[in-house]
Structures are given as C-alpha cells and as structure tokens.
Amino acid sequence: MLVSKANILTRHRQALPALTGIRFLAAFYVVLVHGLPWLQRYQIPKALQIFLGNGYLAVALFFLLSGFILSYTYEGQIEGASNRFHFWEARFARIYPVYFLSLVLSYWFEKGLPLGTRFAVLGMVQAWNPRAPQLVGAWNYPAWTLSVEAFFYLCFPFVVPWMSRRNNRALSWMSAFLIAVCILGHTPVKGLGNWDHSSFSGRFLPLPILRIPEFLLGIVIGLRFLRNEAKGGEVNRPLRVYPAALGTLAALSLPLGDWVSLVILPFGVLVYELALGGSWLARVLSTRTMILLGGASYAIYLLQYPVRSCTRVFFSYMPQGLAQFGAPFTPLILVVFSIFVFRCWEEPFRKALRGWFAKGKLRMTGVLSCPSANKINNRGSRRRSRP
C-alpha cells in the first residue's frame, strides 16, 4: 500500500472532532437560508427570520475553519517546493471529486452557459475576475466559495511559513488587525448576492482578496492554538465556549445590517474553544453521528442546488397533495444523498487520487535512480560539457 508523504507528515497531530461536527451545522445553516421561500409561508418570529436570512454568513465560519485546520495540520511541514506540491495535490484530491460531481449533476439545469464560463468554473477561477461578476454564481452557485478557497490554497504554503516565524506578540497584532479588517470592511457579507460591483473594491478587487482576511485570521488562531498546545495546553475552561455560542446566535439574530460582520469575533472564539474540547457542546459535536454528518457537510453544501432542482422536478410529477411536500423534504433528501456521496464517491476518489499521485512520484524516483537512466544522464552531461 502506498502512503503519500503528506499523510505521513500530518499523521502525528490528533484529530479535532468537534470542528468536524460544527461543519455540518454551518453547511445546514446555508441550506436553510436557501430554503427561505418555503419557510416564508409560515408566521415565524422576527428574530428567527433574521437568523435564517443570515445563513450565508456560515461561509465566513467555513473560511476561518479552513485557515485554522490547515495551519494546525501543516504548520512546520510545508516549506520547500516538494512539500508545497504535496499540499496542493492533497487539496485537489480532497475537494475536486465532489466539486466535479456537483457540476455534472447541475449541468441539466444550466445548459445555456457559454463555453468560456464553463471552463472558468471547471478551473475554479470563476470568482477571481472582478470585471466578470456574472461568472461568480454560474453553473452551481454555491461553488463560488470553492473558487475562493482554491485561491487560499494557492497562497497557504507561502503564507503559513512566514507567519510561523512570527512571535506571539506579532501574531496578537496580526489577529487584532485582521479582526478589524473583517469587521470594518464587512468582509463576511461580501459574496454572491451581496457584492457591490459599483464600489471601488467591487470593481477592482477579486472576491478571494476581499475574503482572505477571514482565512488568515483562522491561520493565526490555529498557530496560537498549536503554540499553547506545545507548552502543555491551556487550563481547560469549557464554560468559555458558551458565551461564544450565545454571542454567535445574538449577532446572527439581531437587525445589525452590515455590522453583522461582528460575528467574526464569536466565530473565532468558538473555533478555538471547540478545538480545546472538554465542554458539553464539544462532546456533542464529537459524537459519531455528528462526525459522519460533518464528513458529509462538504457534499451537503455543494450539492444543494442540483438536489433541490432534481427534487423539484421529481415532485412536480406527483399529485397535487404530494407535490407540496417536495420543498420541506429537500433538506432530508440532501443529507441522506450527501452521506452516500461522502462514503461512495468523495472518500474513494480522494484515496485513489492520493495513491495515483504517490505512484507518479515513485515512478519518477525510480526513473531518476535507475542505473541505465543515470548512465544516459551522465553521457548527456559529458556531451554537453564538450566545447
């Protein structure tokens, strides 16, 4: 069995199961906001309406979580061209199989797209061009966040070694600066449907640049977590997680307008405290059920559009009495289907791609170390050295 270098490098750090569990809650939160047209049929409290309407802000939590988990996993192991390529291969194997599947399933509902748009989405660069805002939500609208993440992944191997060399005081200043940028720049609200293309930033700054402060903040928090863990860990004070959770709910339920960007503060505290574990909330999020749902959360997020569209078409052929149940049952259908995709598509393809990349490296190593190859290389060197 082939084991890639990336697997060996990251195996020594223990898992953070509560952060896997919270990914499901964040993904399902986004699914609920996209189901608002159905929920609006009912009389629900104003605070709940605001909370559901702010579901798109879970994307900021995803970006922060991504920076935290990647820094926790790869810090100190990613310098040099070889390790950078290991990292990029691992990220491609992790995200592209489900990404591609979501585009295949969405194809029948987005048939009229220009070829250039399709290439941009396939290449995961649809959110990189501020001059072409029509590309951002093309083909499969939740996929714009993966385009942003792809940019983060390109930057990560260069950013995290530099950050790792900063002392704790510098990291504290960085976190304060990044929090200020997120709140004052209202970065968490900038995205599909909330992107002001008439502003300076909207016209000249790609979405990945506008959203990267959240990712960088996650990296800084992850580095601080690792350093505290290296010193023997913090005294476990599980009660700190509950004010963070309540602060998150309050920020998402109040009529704050663009100042809902303040939610980045409790998001950061919540991620850090859940990583520490020890609280009742962390234990609930670490159960086997929540870990399974968290594993499927990527598919839940990315497949919501094609599953919702297919469910709508399927129920349209039902009698009137049954057709009305299509929208309420869509989240359940999505979760069940995403678990199937996670187990039978995402994980097998990820392992296959990692194995394929590892085999390619072994073949290259074998060719370069082969005696006949060395003889040919030496002969070529002698020829080139002649005047």
**Distance (Å, rounded) from C-alpha 153 to C-alpha 160?**
11
How many residues are recorded in the chain?
Answer: 387
Would you say residue 387 lies in a domain?
A: no
Would you say residue 360 lies in a domain?
A: yes
Over the stretch 76-92, which tens digit does the pLDDT of each residue have? Answer: 999 889 999 999 999 99
Three-class SS string for 106-170? HHHHCCCCCHHHHHHHHCCCCCCCCCCHHHCCCCCHHHHHHHHHHHHHHHHHHHHHHHHCCCHHH
pLDDT value for 191: 87
CA within 13 Å, CB half, 205: 16
Structure tokens that stand for 76 in this block = 């100190």
Would you say residue 235 lies in a domain?
A: yes
Contact 303, 329 (CB under 8 A): no
Would you say residue 386 lies in a domain?
A: no
How many other C-beta atoms lie within 10 A of the C-beta of residue 261? Answer: 24
**Distance (Å, rounded) from C-alpha 314 to C-alpha 323?**
9
Backbone angles phi, psi at 167, to 5 degrees: -80, 175
Contact 159, 205 (CB under 8 A): no
Contact 267, 60 (CB under 8 A): yes
pTM given for the model? 0.89
Contact 260, 227 (CB under 8 A): no
**Distance (Å, rounded) from C-alpha 244 to C-alpha 181?**
20
Would you say residue 178 lies in a domain?
A: yes
pLDDT value for 229: 79
**Distance (Å, rounded) from C-alpha 61 to C-alpha 64?**
5
**Distance (Å, rounded) from C-alpha 213 to C-alpha 182?**
6
DSSP label at 40?
T
All residue ranges of the chain with pLDDT < 70 are 1-12, 35-42, 193-202, 231-237, 321, 323-326, 362-387
Residue 336 belongs to what domain range? 5-377
* 369 Cβ contact partners less than 8 Å away, ≥ 6 residues apart: none
Over the stretch 227-281, which tens digit does the pLDDT of each residue have? Answer: 987 766 665 567 789 999 999 999 999 999 999 999 999 999 999 999 998 899 9
209 by Cβ neighbours in 10 Å (0-12 / 13-18 / 19+) ranks as middle
**Distance (Å, rounded) from C-alpha 307 to C-alpha 35?**
12
**Distance (Å, rounded) from C-alpha 144 to C-alpha 151?**
11
CA–CA distance from 42 to each of 46, 63, 262, 311, 326 (Å)? 12, 32, 29, 21, 16
Contact 130, 204 (CB under 8 A): yes
pLDDT value for 125: 97
pLDDT value for 200: 60
How many other C-beta atoms lie within 10 A of the C-beta of residue 228? Answer: 14
pLDDT value for 233: 60
pLDDT value for 12: 55
pLDDT value for 39: 59
Would you say residue 55 lies in a domain?
A: yes
Q: How many domains does the chain have?
A: 1
Would you say residue 153 lies in a domain?
A: yes
251 by Cβ neighbours in 10 Å (0-12 / 13-18 / 19+) ranks as buried
Would you say residue 382 lies in a domain?
A: no
Nearest to 208 by CA among 67, 17, 362, 37: 67
Over the stretch 30-59, which tens digit does the pLDDT of each residue have? Answer: 998 876 665 555 677 889 889 988 999 999
